[in-house]
């Protein structure tokens, strides 16, 4: 049974992207008006006014949305066909299903669970999966299922297969909340839903392991965190959100880690919120964030 978010009942979100053409916005907004819906918010962006890519996000309110959903979808398909656009329509009252993968660190994981409990994140969380067990009690105290999938030895394929089996069909996206295992290309392909990571540096600075140590060695005056979609290239995927905090010569590597943890959880929470609200559209290796 789908959990509904009552505040967003009868709200739909339409994402449209593809080649920019005159008349697109009018076509979409005309369509919405025809279906007796009221536009709640509308964002659009074209990466080049002359022949670039077009991105649009419209949230509209349509009483009795559920009954009309299929018809609206058909109309969108027909209306947008001549324009050759990619699109998707979602019912905003149906929360996306989010799995969290974690290791021993608690800060990103707990912040997501806590925000979810507060009602800040429009998601359901069917499971947390970890290669460690230290967080089992914390997770279950939020009423969320916890699965332990150890990941030892050089061959991770069995662990990855077990995780894919748990996720398969059960989730709409996956969040790596400081999950300290490098995932294989096969895993990314098999999981077949977006995977969001938090990297503990201001990418592209300090790619890979030990960013706080590297930051200390380089003597930077700000440290950061970056949330991005995972692709087959480590720490190279499309960036959703980044932020930084000021540090000084007096901060040790441990201080950087402690202060960075605050930035990590804030950045990841924002990225997850925006993804859950369909505010993030991938554009090659970039993101459009409305």
Return the structure tokens found at 125.
């969380």
Given a contact cutoff of 8 angstroms between Cβ atoms, the answer to whether 187 and 210 are in contact is no
Strands (DSSP E) found in the chain? 11-19, 38-46, 53-61, 86-91, 96-102, 123-130, 146-148, 173-177, 195-199, 222-229, 239-246, 280-283, 286-289
The two structure tokens encoding residue 36: 């007796």
Q: How far is the CB of 235 from a copy of itself (least distance, A)?
A: 11
Residue number with CB closer to a copy of itself (81 or 118): 118
- Smallest distance from the beta carbon of 175 to a copy of itself, in angstroms? 18
Specify the residue, 15 or 163, whose C-beta has the smaller distance to a copy of itself: 15
Which of 235, 251, 255, 262 is the catalytic position?
A: 235
Specify the residue, 164 or 180, whose C-beta has the smaller distance to a copy of itself: 180
Binding site for a copy of itself (CB under 8 A): 20, 22-26, 29-30, 32-33, 36-47, 49, 61, 106-107, 110, 114, 118, 120, 141, 202-206, 218-222, 224, 238-244, 248-250, 258, 262, 266, 283, 285-289
Cα 242 to chain centroid, rounded: 13
The least distance separating a copy of itself from the CB of residue 252, rounded to whole angstroms, comes to 9
Q: Check if 235 is active-site.
A: yes
Q: Classify 192 as helix, strand or coil.
A: coil
In angstroms, give the least distance from the CB of 76 to a copy of itself. 14
Structure tokens at 261: 């943890």
- Of 191 and 240, the one with the shorter C-beta distance to a copy of itself is 240
Nearer to a copy of itself, 45 or 87 (CB): 45
Closest by CA to 267, choosing from 207, 199, 216, 190, is 199
Q: Measure the CA–CA gap between 162 and 158, rounded to whole angstroms.
A: 6
- At closest approach, how far in Å is the CB of 126 from a copy of itself? 22
* Cα distances (angstroms) measured from residue 117 to each of 93, 111, 142, 196: 17, 10, 8, 20
∠ CA 88-89-94, nearest 5°, is 125
Active site residues: 235
């Amino acid at each position: 049974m789908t959990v509904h978010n009552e505040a967003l009942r009868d709200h739909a979100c339409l994402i449209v992207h593809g080649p920019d053409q005159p008349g697109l916005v009018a076509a979409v907004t005309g369509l919405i008006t025809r279906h007796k819906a009221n536009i709640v918010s509308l964002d659009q962006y074209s990466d080049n006014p002359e022949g670039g890519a077009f991105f649009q996000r419209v949230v509209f309110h349509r009483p009795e949305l559920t009954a009309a959903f299929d018809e609206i979808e058909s109309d969108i398909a027909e209306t947008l066909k001549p324009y050759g656009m990619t699109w998707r329509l979602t019912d905003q009252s149906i929360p996306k299903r989010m799995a969290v993968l974690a290791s021993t660190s608690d800060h990103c994981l707990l912040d997501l669970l806590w925000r979810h409990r507060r009602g800040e994140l429009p998601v359901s969380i069917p499971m947390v999966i970890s290669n460690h067990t230290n967080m089992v009690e914390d997770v279950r105290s939020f009423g969320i299922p916890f699965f332990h999938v150890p990941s030892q030895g050089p061959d991770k394929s069995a662990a990855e297969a077990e995780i894919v089996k748990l996720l398969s069909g059960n989730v709409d996206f996956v969040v790596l909340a400081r999950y300290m295992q490098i995932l294989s290309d096969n895993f990314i392909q098999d999981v077949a839903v977006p995977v969001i990571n938090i990297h503990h540096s201001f990418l592209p600075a300090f790619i890979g392991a030990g960013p706080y140590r590297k930051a200390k060695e380089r003597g930077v005056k700000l440290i950061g965190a970056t949330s991005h979609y995972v692709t087959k290239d480590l720490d190279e995927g499309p960036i959703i959100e980044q932020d930084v905090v000021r540090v000084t010569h007096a901060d040790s590597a441990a201080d950087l880690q402690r202060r960075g943890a605050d930035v990590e959880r804030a950045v990841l929470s924002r990225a997850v919120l925006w993804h859950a609200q369909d505010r993030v559209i991938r554009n090659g290796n970039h993101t459009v964030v409305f």
